[in-house]
A and B are shown apart, each in its own frame.
Chain A
């Protein structure tokens, strides 16, 4: 069971890296998501799939055959965080498309290397146009 999961993680990471290397920002975002999920699966696998019994502890009884609950808790946390970051990345992606009219990574990153713009004579007023 672990070996199947491990191979799946490997395949997913490979797909994710292939997507990350793409020139299109949309695919880069998807690549990060695929890698994120692969790593979640990896964390779960690293904690071993010993048993399917739920890890509920009854009064005065230790469940010897219970599945390891800790990796599950870790992955749940990581999924929630990953989801928030994914949403933010999508928002940045949408704004990039609106602002630059392109999602080509080379052109987007080249813009950050342009010389700094001159600051306006009258600075923006609070609440004014951004």
Chain B
């Protein structure tokens, strides 16, 4: 049991160390990396199985009792996030097997991906605020190395933007963690929830938590602090930007959900603010996308607008809305990463990712067009794909409590999303290639990449068709979030490891 608790961090970390020791042989490193990511997926699925039965795994590291030791907690939300991280990690390293176009020639990509997975899984399972900061830094330094991988003037410039704004966000987080400790005397999330339930968080502590939410909002790319994301995601190598698009902003969303539900389980002022932020995030993101003319830049703006939906679920704070947010997280990670993967493939075949210089892909590669259509329609919320259920639940939750504006914004954003996706469809797939059909190429050795894209599309369809069980799980996860007593009990009752 205790082994399973630390496995989400240990598996990618061990893979990283092994890869480092054997880095002279790129073939072995790639094989190890794929095996490690597959193992992480299995661990995640096992955790989902355990959490699905209502078990909250918890333990204290170093043998110190809570609140002195560092707690690790895995509830339903954490387990689902670890599983989906494993899936996206596996997809990324398999896509990375297509080494043509790998800017570093297969040397460092796998090391940093495993480092990033370590950090991401760490943030999902920790129950301690300062430990959360440390995991943020782990994933951040790995992401810095990944985004700049392969050099090039444009990529370096994007890295500069990404680097400094993310550094500032983490510094803000560090400051808020310090202030929170100064005000409340604890960094343990469960104890913080206890203090909050007893009304014993002083004004200074509240300020610190709000500062922390600001730091998470930068990470999650919420309005008005999302500027770094569309300015940097499009410069990286395509599997890297797919990995970022799938996981990184969602780490911020996860942290927001975790802290807000623990400290303020009941709707209040913070939820009111988050509601407006969520609506503006959805609108600004989708309108920003309308002005873009490159595949990945359009998709980057859509990350922003989609994050708005998840925060909308958090802001409404009803059990149904929280379940919608959890469902949206799971659906969005798969769909968004897949769209970036397909964007990378389409660019490689068309020779560019500028829409003006693309075209003819539907005639040449209809299966790629179909594989694009599935996540694209899902993103826009067309039934019966996963995005429809995610949006349906959130709109219903908004209407249930009379948040008409939020429901309207969510629907309008869906329409504009469809517009953006049809723009990519028309320009990249339907119209003739400006250079004639001969300008299209079909590079050899892309088979692993196509397998990844097809598998993720299949997951999207499965989540859509089998929405019942997934929604049940999301409902149960939301029930755990809405009532932190189970979380607190698990942490306070857990023995030292």
Smallest distance from the beta carbon of A93 to chain B beta carbons, Å?
A: 9
Q: Are B348 and A89 in contact (CB-based, < 8 A)?
A: no
Nearest Cβ distance between residue B416 and chain A, in whole angstroms? 22
Chain A interface residue count, CB cutoff 8 Å, equals: 51
**Which chain B residues numbered 280 to 313 have a C-beta less than 8 Å away from chain A?**
294, 296
Q: How far is the CB of A84 from chain B (nearest CB, A)?
A: 6
Closest to B441 in A: A121
In the complex, what distance in Å separates the CA atom of A64 from the CA atom of B171? 32
Q: Is B157's CB under 8 angstroms from A111's CB?
A: yes
Residues B174 and A78 in contact, CB atoms below 8 Å apart: yes
Give the complex CA separation of A99 and B158 in angstroms: 13
Complex contact A112–B154 (CB within 8 A): yes
CA–CA, A84 to B170, complex, Å?
A: 14
A105 to B156, CA, bound (A): 12
Q: Which of the candidate stretches B100-108, B249-257, B322-330, B481-489 sits at the interface with the other chain?
A: B100-108
Residue among B99, B101, B163, B441 making CB contact with A92, cutoff 8 Å: B163
The interface residues of chain A lying within 8 Å CB-to-CB of B101 are: 119, 123-124
In the complex, how many angstroms separate the beta carbon of B234 from the nearest chain A beta carbon? Answer: 7
> Does A60 have its Cβ within 8 Å of any Cβ on chain B?
no
Instruction: Decide yes or no: A89 and B167 within 8 Å by CB, A70-B181, A74-B178 being known contacts.
Output: yes
Contact B151 A47 (CB under 8 A): no
Q: Residue B137 at the A interface, CB < 8 A?
A: yes
Residues of chain A within 8 A of B148, CB atoms compared: 92, 95
Is B496's beta carbon under 8 Å from chain A? no
**Cβ contact within 8 Å between A46 and B294:** no
Minimum CB distance partner of B68 in chain A: A70
A25 contacts partner chain B, Cβ-Cβ < 8 Å: yes
- Scan residues 54-102 of chain A and give those whose CB is less than 8 A from a CB of chain B: 70-71, 74, 77-78, 81, 84-85, 88-89, 92, 95-96, 99-100
Bound complex: CA A12 to CA B158 (Å): 28
Nearest CB of B to A91, in Å: 9
Interface assignment of A48: CB less than 8 Å from any CB of chain B = yes
Taking the nearest CB of chain B, how far is it from the CB of A73, in angstroms?
9
Residues of A within 8 A of B351 (CB): 118-119, 121
Give A3 Cβ to nearest chain B Cβ, in Å. Answer: 14
**What chain B residues lie within 8 Å of A70 (beta carbons)?**
181
CB neighbours of A1 from chain B (8 A): none
Residue in contact with A115 in the complex, picked from B157, B347, B354, CB distance below 8 Å: B354
* B225 CB-CB contact with A under 8 Å: no
Is A123 a contact partner of B357 (Cβ separation < 8 A)?
Answer: no
Which residues of chain B in 224-259 are interfacial with respect to chain A, using CB atoms and an 8 Å cutoff? 231-232, 234-235
- Give A66 Cβ to nearest chain B Cβ, in Å: 15
CB-CB under 8 A from A43, the residues of chain B are 174-175, 177-179, 181
Please determine whether A81 and B137 come into contact, CB atoms closer than 8 angstroms. yes
| Closest chain A residue to B232, Cβ basis | A112
Given contacts A74-B130, A115-B354, contact A124 B182 (CB under 8 A): no
A46 contacts B154, CB within 8 Å?
no
Beta-carbon contact of B105 and A127 below 8 Å: yes
Given A99-B151, A109-B160, A130-B103, do A32 and B181 touch, yes or no (CB 8 Å)? no
Judge if B161 is at the interface, Cβ distance under 8 Å.
Answer: yes
Please tell me if B134 contacts chain A, counting CB pairs below 8 Å. Answer: yes
- A6 CB, nearest partner CB in chain B, Å: 11
Query: Does any Cβ of B come within 8 Å of A125's Cβ?
Result: yes
- Select one of B104, B140, B231, B235 contacting A130, CB under 8 A: B104
Contact partners of A32 in chain B: CB under 8 A: 164, 167-168, 171
Contact indicator B181/A116 (Cβ below 8 Å): no
Q: Which residues of B contact A78 (CB under 8 A)?
A: 133, 174
Q: Is the CB of B153 within 8 A of A46?
A: no
CB–CB B134/A77 < 8 A:
yes
Shortest A79–chain B CB gap in Å is 11
Known pairs A43-B174, A126-B99 / 19 extra A-B pairs, C-beta < 8 Å: A25-B160, A36-B167, A46-B181, A74-B177, A74-B181, A77-B130, A95-B148, A96-B157, A99-B153, A108-B157, A112-B158, A113-B231, A116-B154, A116-B353, A118-B351, A123-B443, A125-B100, A130-B103, A130-B151
Please name 21 pairs of A and B residues whose Cβ atoms are closer than 8 Å in the assembled complex, sorted by A.
A39-B171, A71-B178, A74-B178, A85-B144, A89-B163, A89-B164, A89-B167, A92-B160, A96-B156, A108-B160, A111-B156, A112-B154, A115-B294, A116-B296, A119-B348, A124-B101, A126-B100, A127-B106, A127-B107, A128-B105, A130-B150
B→A interface (CB under 8 Å):
26, 99-107, 130, 133-134, 137, 140-141, 144-145, 148, 150-154, 156-161, 163-164, 167-168, 171, 174-175, 177-179, 181-183, 231-232, 234-235, 294, 296, 347-348, 351-354, 357, 441, 443
